[in-house]
Amino acid sequence: MAITYFQDTICFTETLTAPTNPNTALEVAVNNLFSTKDYTFMVTVASVNTNVVVNLEGSIDGTNYIAVVANQTISSNGTTLYNVTGKPFKWLRANFVSESGGTAAEVTFSIAAA
């Protein structure tokens, strides 16, 4: 059987220092031959005061988004990992939804899509 497609992993990293909702979207399917459906969403938080809230959204059309990883409250510095499987999207966006207890938090999102 011949392999008639090529699939690779798309990676993206962005650091935010203030809540932005919605954030810039990442196109993870660039043509009709390549579809991603499995995602690793890594969130690294530094200088957290009380907590930060983050989420990951996906879209097929780049306009209408739904939660892929619903709002997650993170209360300590460090890295948290989320995995999503079997949900094809063309666009993903990671959002720094809110911050409590101060304005010093720095949130770095890393996304791998395969």
Please report whether residue 3 resides in a domain: no
What total number of domains does the chain contain?
A: 1
Tell me which residue of 74, 55, 73 sits closest to 65, measured CA to CA: 55
Please report whether residue 1 resides in a domain: no
Tens digits of per-residue pLDDT, 6-20?
Answer: 556 777 787 877 787
What average pLDDT does the structure give for the chain?
84
Give one DSSP letter per residue of 40-87, joined into a string.
Answer: EEEEEEES-SSEEEEEEEEESSSS--EEEEEEEEE-SSEEEEEEE-S-
pLDDT at residue 3 greater than cutoff 50:
no
Please report whether residue 15 resides in a domain: yes
More confident residue, 73 or 15: 73
Please report whether residue 24 resides in a domain: yes
Please report whether residue 21 resides in a domain: yes
Q: For residue 68, what is the domain's CATH number?
A: 2.60.120.260
pLDDT band at 114 (very low <50, low <70, confident <90, very high): confident
Domain that holds residue 60: 10-113
